[in-house]
Amino acid sequence: MRFLLLALLMPLQIYAQNSPGYVIKGSTNTPSKKAWIYMSRSTERSEKTDSAAFKDGRFEFKGSVTEPTAVKIYFDRKSPKAVFVIDNSKMIFKAADSLNNFSVTGSPAAMAAIEFQKMIAPAEKTYDGYLRDFWATHMNKADNDAEKIASKDRIDRAYDHINDLHLSYLKANPKSPIGIILLNKYVSRKGNMDGLSPIFIAFSSDLKNSASGKAFEARLQTALTLSIGKPALDFNVKSSEGKDVKLSDFKGKYVFLDFWASWCGPCRSEMPHVRNAYNKYKNNGFEVMAVSLDKENKRAEWLKAIEEDKTGAFSQTIDPTGDIARLYDIRSIPQNYLISPEGKIIAKDLRGKDLETFLHKQFNP
């Protein structure tokens, strides 16, 4: 299970934008008395919001984008939203009784994204159902409860199936207008960029040379510095006691570098596995360095989570500015690295019992 840090799709470019801009003519039967409707355009670092008059169920947005970009249309932050992709085309947006029940025509990128979403919708519905069942029925059961273990296994398999669908589409459609956007979404879901270089190389020149394509290529280069066999990048953070802690302080031990947050349900559900591995191998030269992505104003929640999860026995640190997360290119959590006594990365993204299994092989060759 994984919590995405990037909730919105990132921008992409599929071809040179020769049109002077986009026009979105919208209509909806949504029973809203609002006089205004809003459209937000998101990138990884910022968000721009436009507004348009809403009258007699109709609205119109005009503007331009430098590359096809993900947007969301809504009446207010709490109401249903339509999330899709725009480019500099003339588009027709139609929604029935809710904005999240919509269609878009006129934009190749928008139509490709909608068709892809329809393709993976059954798998996502299955995953969401398993997740709801876990939280409603199994969350508070003992960690060794057979039904709880089976529920988590179903969730992990369903999650992996969605990832596999992303990869299958990308491999089969190297010229797809949503290629880069799906790569970024996949990385956010998976937490790493392992094995993506051949897929990116097979993309069209337009995709690779776009702004988003170049940004992704730069991320691939960064990922090489974080690949298995490379030295782990050192850093300094504050512990739960307010003391300075460096990753290099644990050199000579196996270190499980675990990125998490108090508000991340999937992270919290992984903690029993981390705690069990620590208790089993702490006397064999194994240490856990947990790095929370909680903000400074959520310190109380962070400390409460440590107490509730009974994880205060190992190193608990906090990265409120996100500097360490950026250093390790963390785009979703939970995410982790296992580091050897020599300070090299030897495994990544170990979930469930995978950590304990891996450690068993290290300590019992």
Whether 205 and 86 map to the same domain: the answer is: no
Whether 219 and 331 map to the same domain: the answer is: no
Whether 296 and 247 map to the same domain: the answer is: yes
Query: What sign has the CA pseudo-torsion 259, 261, 264, 266?
Result: positive
Residue 9 lies in a domain: yes
Whether 162 and 139 map to the same domain: the answer is: yes
Residue 149 lies in a domain: yes
Which residues partner with 40 through β-bridges? 49, 72
Number of structural domains, the chain?
3
**Contact assessment for residue 137 and residue 113, using Cβ atoms and an 8 Å cutoff:** no
Q: Could you say which of 106, 138, 168 is where a domain stops?
A: 106
Q: Which two tokens stand for residue 15?
A: 């071809």
Whether 293 and 264 map to the same domain: the answer is: yes
* CATH code of the domain containing 77: 2.60.40
Whether 353 and 251 map to the same domain: the answer is: yes
Residue 339 lies in a domain: yes
Whether 172 and 188 map to the same domain: the answer is: yes
Whether 121 and 216 map to the same domain: the answer is: yes
Say how far apart CA 330 and CA 64 lie, in whole Å: 31
pLDDT at 211: 87
Q: Which of 165, 5, 24 is nearest to 99 (CA)?
A: 24
Whether 311 and 350 map to the same domain: the answer is: yes
Residue 230 lies in a domain: no
Range of the domain at 161: 110-225
Residue 142 lies in a domain: yes
DSSP annotation string for 23-36:
EEEEEE------SE
Residue 49 lies in a domain: yes
Spatial CB neighbours of 171, under 8 Å, sequence gap ≥ 6: 199, 202
Residue 231 lies in a domain: no
Whether 137 and 93 map to the same domain: the answer is: no
* CATH code of the domain containing 242: 3.40.30.10
85-116 b/e with 16+ CB inside 10 Å = b?
bbbbbebebebeeebeebebebbbbbbbbbeb
Q: Could you say which of 225, 247, 269 is where a domain stops?
A: 225
Q: Which of 253, 269, 316 is nearest to 289 (CA)?
A: 316
Whether 352 and 263 map to the same domain: the answer is: yes
pLDDT at 43: 63
Say how far apart CA 188 and CA 172 lie, in whole Å: 21
Q: Which two tokens stand for residue 41?
A: 């355009």
Residue 24 lies in a domain: yes
Say how far apart CA 216 and CA 163 lie, in whole Å: 18
Q: Could you say which of 106, 131, 148 is where a domain stops?
A: 106
Whether 244 and 302 map to the same domain: the answer is: yes
| pLDDT tens sequence for the chain (365 residues) | 444 444 333 433 334 344 579 999 999 998 888 999 999 987 656 678 999 999 999 999 999 987 878 899 999 988 899 999 988 899 999 998 899 899 999 998 898 998 999 999 999 999 999 999 999 999 888 878 999 989 989 998 999 999 999 999 999 999 888 899 899 889 888 877 888 999 999 998 988 988 889 999 998 988 888 889 999 999 999 998 889 999 999 999 999 999 999 999 889 989 999 999 999 999 999 999 999 999 989 999 999 999 999 999 999 999 999 999 999 988 889 999 999 999 999 999 898 889 999 999 998 87
